[in-house]
Structure 1
Amino acid sequence: MIDIDFPIVFILLFIINNMMLNRLSKKYSFFDKKLMNYLYWYHLLFFAIYFMYSIYNNSDSLLYYLTVGNKGDQWPELFYTGTRFISFFAVPFVYLGLSYSSVMLVASWFGYVGFVYAYLYFRESIPINVTVFGRFDLLTLLLFLPNMHFWTASLGKGALIFMGLMVFTQAVKFPQKRIVALLIGGFFIYMVRPHVMLFVLVGVMIGILTGKGKISIGIKLLVLVASIVFLAAASSSILAVAKLENSENVVDDFEQFSDTNSAKLESSAKSGVSMASYPLPLKLFTFWFRPLFVDSPGAIGMFSSVENLIYLLLFAKICNRRFLRFILKAPYMVKMSIIVFLLSSFALTFVMSNLGIIMRQKSMVMYFGFFVIYYFLAQEKWEQMQRLKERNNAVALNA
């Protein structure tokens, strides 16, 4: 339960958070500090929900915390990509004497930072407000999606990688000016999920090479060379995620790994779905939009089904020829986002057969898809405004 150190940590994080928001509001003229404060308390609500959930259910968060107690004196050995890194992250806080509830709160705050940078990622590239479903501001709707907050409000991979992804992506817009943010974001992505770093860097390289933008040739070359060097140096760690570091046939061995892992998840979980025989479009549909009411695993699944319906309705807005023309001429941030979204979705569909895990895993990639949808709808609105302006000007000239 809540320990005596919790109020102290709560107050310190509140002060640190206000300092961060004040700094960002001075740096970015569009920054809505009031909205971010609302988002802060909203995220804390999901921290409280997840914390109560972790007390009465088996939770990875508690396991990470207990690992520190058992191996805290071997801290360097925990500095390894994947699961062990979460315990490595928790060690300094545990050594300071913080309780489980306080460490959970700290990790939850890192998840909140991800939402702040998601806001910057969207708003910096898309200054136009878009309304959906008649009356809802799209960016506000996306920032307050409950499933996203639930899986990023605890000590675990979700909070740290989401923060890393959003910090890195926001920094990529101006890489020459945001090197520190690039390094911090990239560090967390790689340490939590090395294979996701692969998808991100491939997306960055393709986006820079094919998308429109004002990045100079020198910066493009620097980013491309740095990405290639990193991928070459980290290839063993990335392949090790699927135990392919010593493989002589990566494609065949990955197929075998995905079939084996998928079968394990399906047989060990009540919410398992047999995706092995699904065609690729149905696999992707399952990853993006399920559970949907009829196959919801429990109360959380029903709650998630409502959100998945929103996803489905948003994605329906890009199912037209105009979107295809838009993608061909899109700026590099859009092309990067769609490549990261599709690559991550494609890879994860081959190893996911558990709706509960799918709900958790997709939280780290859905914002890339939402960014593409938002940009497309904003572009449509801008073009409509331009046509209206030209029509009004023509009427004024003929008057």
Structure 2
Amino acid sequence: MNFFITAFIFVLGYLFIQSFAAKLSEENLNTLKKLFLVHILFGAYFCFFVQGDAVGYWKEAKLMSEEDFIYSLTQGQGTYFVLALNYYPSNILDLSYFTGTMMYSLIGFIGLTYFYVMAVELIPNDPKFSGYYLFPMLFFLPNLHFWSCAVGKDALLFFCIAIFTYGLMQPFKRMPMIVFGLLLAYFIRPHITLFMLLGFGMAYFSGQNISVFRRILFFGLMVGIAIAILPMVMKFARIEEASLDSFDKFSETKAALLSKASAGSAVDISSYPFPVKVFTFLYRPLFFDINGIPSVLASLENLLLLVLSYTVLKNKPLETFKKAPFVIQGMVYFLIIGTLAFSQSLGNVGIMIRMRNMFLPGLIIFIFWHFSYRQSQESDA
């Protein structure tokens, strides 16, 4: 069973890539195939070499009774809900943790593909920096794959954000994607749903190329939903960690993740000033945090992002932002809201790395847009 399911996952990944044959060039399709291979390899690495809370999500689901499953599915959010999702493949089908990791890797890759397609459709020119093409290079950044291939909330949320954002490019045609992305995110981490609604609601309100009717309709709808779910978000924020108490083994593995898996960066930053916390959330670990090969790779990636971000900030970023399509503006608002919230509420670099991955595609796509827009302005001058 495990062999056939794993083989089927590879086939599904290939077929999903081919479903964009009418939208993408052969070169882009081949790049997506390479990204799929990279993503699967990261999934295999995570499965065999990172003993974190992903193991707990799968093994605890194996131990659940039918009553536990029903309660988790109907009453729980966050950890309980993810365990309920894993109940059928892990408990009923008795699939291995490796097969489960491949399933989640496919889910994360589907999200990555939607971000890739958005970049192709929204970025008019190939963005370059110092003579190097940024697209599709930045889609191969290690952390973009590492935290979106493992069993658990991170890959699912990455997927939710991707389909929600992709759906907003044609909201009336892709409304099922928008609704499904919001609902699934709500049951996993409702505060992320709130951030999405606020971020893209602000983008609709300020969008220059959107009709007044659509501005009012979608802004009002998103803000209305955000206000409606706010009480549940506040309640969830207080009980999420407490809900882990009934899963002792899971709690232990989660603690192990923070100390072992987060690129060796489980550093207490609660006493840092506000600007340093924001910088830490976006660009650490850096070379002064290195204590192993994973942190070397993360430092190289973060240094590249830091250099690119600095280049963006010193070259009329507000003008570039105002000229961006509203979907890119929404991703930037989402990035800003998430950064402000998590950089102040999380006191650990290791956890920040995981949380940042949900917002990383927005940063990357805005970098693409900035360099592409600036190149077109320079060529027209």
The equivalent residue for 1:240 is: 235
Tell me what 2:246 maps to.
none
- CA drift at 1:29: 6.2
Task: Decide whether the 8 Å contact of 1:176 with 1:219 is kept in 2.
Answer: no
Aligned to 1:127: 124
- 2:58 is the alignment partner of 1:65: yes
- Worse-superposed segment, 191-200 or 270-279: 270-279
> Does residue 1:186 correspond to 2:182, yes or no?
yes
Residue type of the alignment partner of 2:16: M
Letter in 2 for 1:337: M
Tell me the distance in 1 between the aligned counterparts of 2:225 and 2:57: 28
Instruction: State the match for 2:206 in structure 1.
Output: 210
Q: Sort the Cα spacing of 1:72 and 1:146 in 2 relative to 1 into closer, same or farther, 3 A.
A: farther
Letter in 1 for 2:171: P
Q: Is the 8 A contact 1:47 1:105 kept in 2?
A: yes
Structure 2: gaps (5+ residues):
241-254
Q: CA deviation at 1:190?
A: 1.8
**Structure 1: distance between partners of 2:293 and 2:23:** 42
Q: What is aligned with 1:14?
A: 10
Q: Deviations over 1:144-165 (max 9, x none)?
A: 0011111111101111111111
1:258-337 aligned within 5 A = 269=259, 271-337=265-331
Q: 1-side partners of 2:104 and 2:172: how far apart?
A: 29
Deviation of the 1:72 alpha carbon: 4.3
Deviation at 1:197, TM superposition (A): 1.2
In 2: Cα distance, 1:226 partner to 1:30 partner: 39
Cα distance in 1, alignment partners of residues 369 and 345 from structure 2: 30
Instruction: Say whether the 8 Å CA contact 1:211–1:329 is kept in structure 2.
Output: no
Structure 1, unaligned runs of 5 or more: 246-264, 388-399
What's the CA shift string for 1:125-176, capped at 9, x where partnerless?
11311122432x2121221001111111110111111111111111112211
- Residues 133 and 24 (structure 1), Cα distance of their counterparts in 2 relative to 1, 3 Å cut: same
CA offsets 1:369-390 (integer angstroms, 9 cap, x no match): 2222211111111112223xxx
1:115 alignment counterpart: 112
Superposed displacement of residue 321, structure 1: 4.9
Q: Distance in 2 between matches of 1:134 and 1:373?
A: 15
Instruction: Give the one of 38, 42, 54 matched to 2:38.
Output: 42
CA distance in 2, matches of 1:308, 1:230: 35
2:373 to 360, 374, 379: 379
Aligned twin of 2:362: 368
Match of 1:89 in 2: 85
> What do the CA deviations read for 1:302-350 (whole angstroms, capped 9, x no partner)?
2211111111111011122522333344432232122110110110011
Deviates more, 1:77-86 or 1:143-152: 77-86
1:151 to 141, 147, 162: 147
Aligned counterparts of 1:71 and 1:236: Cα–Cα separation in 2 = 29
Give the TM-score of the pair, scaled to structure 2: 0.87
Of residues 191, 194, 197, the one that matches 2:193 is: 197
Structure 1 pair 244–103 and aligned structure 2 pair: CA distance change class (3 A): closer
For the 8 Å contact 1:107–1:159, the answer to whether it is kept is: yes
What is the CA–CA distance in structure 1 between the aligned matches of 2:9 and 2:380, rounded to whole Å? 45
Bigger relative contact order, structure 1 or 2 (CA pairs below 8 A, ≥6 apart)? 2
**For 1:25 and 1:240, how far apart are their aligned partners in 2?**
44
State the superposition RMSD in angstroms: 2.3
- Whether the 8 Å CA contact 1:211–1:333 is kept in 2: the answer is no
Take 2:375 and 2:212, find their aligned partners in 1: how far apart are those partners? Answer: 31
Would you say the 8 A contact 2:47–2:97 is kept in 1? no
Match of 1:98 in 2: 95
Q: Secondary structure at the match of 1:25?
A: coil
Distance 2:208 2:340 in 1: 25
The answer (yes or no) to whether the contact 2:57–2:152 under 8 Å persists in 1 is yes
Tell me which stretches of 4 or more aligned residues in structure 1 moved more than 6 Å: none
Per the alignment, in what secondary structure is the counterpart of residue 243 of structure 1?
helix
1:175 match: secondary structure: coil
Aligned 8 A contact 2:324 2:369 in 1:
no
| CA–CA distance in structure 2, aligned partners of residues 356 and 232 of structure 1 | 31
Task: Note if contact 1:30-1:123 (Cα within 8 Å) is conserved in structure 2.
Answer: no
Change (3 A) 1:101 1:329: closer
Matched residues, number: 357
Partner SS, residue 20 of structure 2: helix
The one-letter code sitting in structure 2 at the alignment partner of 1:305 is: S
Larger deviation, residues 274-283 vs 139-148: 274-283
1:75 aligns with 2:75: no
Distance 1:198 1:339, change over 3 A: same
Q: Give, in angstroms, the shift of residue 184 of structure 1.
A: 2.1
Residues 302 and 280 of structure 1: CA distance in aligned 2, closer, same or farther (over 3 Å): same
- Tell me the alpha carbon deviations over residues 193-213 of structure 1, each in whole angstroms, 9 at most, x when there is no partner: 211111111111111111222
Instruction: Tell me the equivalent position of 1:392.
Output: none
Shift of 1:41: 0.6
Counterpart for residue 396 of structure 1 = none
**SS, match of residue 127 in structure 1:** coil
Q: CA deviation at 1:222?
A: 2.9
Partner Cα separation in structure 1 for residue 288 and residue 212 of structure 2: 52
2:220 to 197, 222, 225: 225
Matched-pair contact (CA < 8 Å) for 2:44–2:98:
no
CA distance in 2, matches of 1:279, 1:178: 42
Take 2:149 and 2:347, find their aligned partners in 1: how far apart are those partners?
24
